[in-house]
A and B are shown apart, each in its own frame.
Chain A
Amino acid sequence: MSAAVATRPALGRDIRALLGELMKLEHITGGLVVAPDGLVIAADLPREIEAEPLSALAATLGRELELRGPKLRRGTFPMAQFASVGGTAFLGSTPVGFIVLLGEPQADNETVRTALRAAVGTVYRAWAR
């Protein structure tokens, strides 16, 4: 999956398709793409999760990372992951907004991070044209 995401720049323009590809990763239960103002661009979430408040918070988290990062340095961050006992939220920054993936505790963090990094790169390449 990640190879497909990485090698098709046109896919980077089709955010919904890109999210669909990422959703095929094992133990990923939900995902969304959210603009920096909190607007949902695409979402594929379990029914019990409300998209709007999650997207508002995810955009806030993404902007916080973009603006300062943990070291107060201005600039983009490629990827971040936040884990609790019940699961992990992965966040990738792109020019369009933030890609968020929700994973079960069994999700392979390295695999998800690699795929998300590739997806972020694809979006960057597509939007740089």
Chain B
Amino acid sequence: MGFRRIWHLLRGGRRRPTSAQMLRRAQRLRDDGRFEDAAELVAEALIRVPGSVVGHLLAGSLHMTLRETEQARTSFERVLALEPTHPRALLGLARIALEEGQHGACRDLLARALARYPDFPEARALLDVARGLAASPDARPPATAGADSARAVAPIAPRITAPIESEAAPAVAAAPAAAAPPQSAAPADRLRLPSESREALFMRPDATLLFAEPRGPRTEAVAARAVKLARIATAVLARAGFGPLRHAVIEGAAETTYLRADDAALLTLAFDRDVTAATAVAHLERVWGRCRSELA
């Protein structure tokens, strides 16, 4: 033993780090934002200790950060195989379920996490959002959105009755009759949509679509996404001590979406990126005023 230590010192070598040391170092690397380096170290540690809860949890967290959802799911599931009520792994899987529109599964996972660890503010905050999404169909695939659109589009305000002419009309007409969504009924001319607008959606807070221009087979799914986004944003604003969501601006790669909302309705207008914010907001307010008076 003494000889080995002397030999080690003479060689100037260092003792091989333990898996716990490797994971601690990986955690520090993650905190410094060196995610790939951290992930490599965690993978190495897990080869040595495949049953490490901390290792799999850290791996899940790093996969999420690197936007590797499937690998993150696998890591969190491995944690639960080792420790079935681990609250952080349950939270991780709940986040993935929420991203995928599996709102029921998300609620169940969060409830399990809170049953184990009631003082878990992140889980409680996400559960509030997931509960608010209870009415939304779980993981509704966009391609089949038209099938249940009769329920989603039916209740139209009395004055919004005329069928719209949509850019998407040929695509809708070409679809099988059973899958074709019914026409939403607000007259585009009465709402006087700006010519620069690439897309307009007007809906109730439960995602019931009142008007869409253009309209296509995925319109209901887009509306449901907009409502989900608005609910999460409202939760963020509430946590920040502000009131409910009223306006939003979302810059995309090709276009910018402007959103206007109150307790009864939500409107989104999408414009090309070259339309100025001032112009877009002015259009948004005008269309919002007309939409709200149509609803009144």
**Could you tell me which A residues sit within 8 Å of B by CB distance?**
13, 15, 30, 35-39, 41, 46, 48-50, 52-61, 63-73, 75-89, 96-97, 100, 102, 109-110, 113
Contacts and interface: CB of A to CB of B under 8 A. Distances in A.
Contact of A50 (B31, B33, B239): B239
Nearest to B239: A54
25 contacts: A13-B33, A36-B67, A37-B64, A37-B92, A49-B239, A52-B121, A53-B124, A56-B126, A57-B235, A59-B95, A61-B233, A64-B225, A65-B229, A69-B257, A70-B252, A77-B252, A78-B251, A80-B249, A81-B247, A82-B237, A82-B245, A82-B248, A86-B241, A88-B242, A89-B242
Given A54-B236, A70-B268, A71-B222, A64 B229 contact: yes
Contacts of B218: 72
B259 A70 contact: yes
Given A72-B218, A84-B246, A30 B240 contact: yes
B125 A80 contact: no
B64 to A, nearest CB: 4
B174 interface: no
A78 B95 CA distance: 22
Please report whether the interface of chain A is mostly helix, strand, loop or mixed according to DSSP: mixed
A80 B228 contact: no
A36 B126 contact: no
B253 interface: yes
B270 interface: yes
A25 B234 CA distance: 24
B237 A87 contact: yes
A109 B241 CA distance: 18
Contacts of A60: 95, 98-99, 126, 129, 232
B264 interface: no
Given A60-B232, A102-B240, A35 B65 contact: yes
A109 to B, nearest CB: 8
Nearest to A91: B236
A39 B72 CA distance: 14
B241 A57 contact: no
Contacts of B253: 73, 75-77
Contact of A82 (B199, B236, B251): B236
A24 B33 CA distance: 23
A46 to B, nearest CB: 8
Contacts of B257: 69-71
A110 B240 CA distance: 21
A70 B236 contact: no
> Nearest 9 CB-CB pairs, A to B?
A37-B64, A53-B125, A86-B242, A56-B122, A84-B243, A87-B242, A82-B233, A70-B257, A83-B247
Given A70-B226, A83-B248, A84-B246, A35 B64 contact: yes
Nearest to A105: B242
B136 interface: no
A57 B236 contact: yes
Nearest to B244: A84
B250 interface: yes
Contacts of A13: 33
Nearest to B247: A83
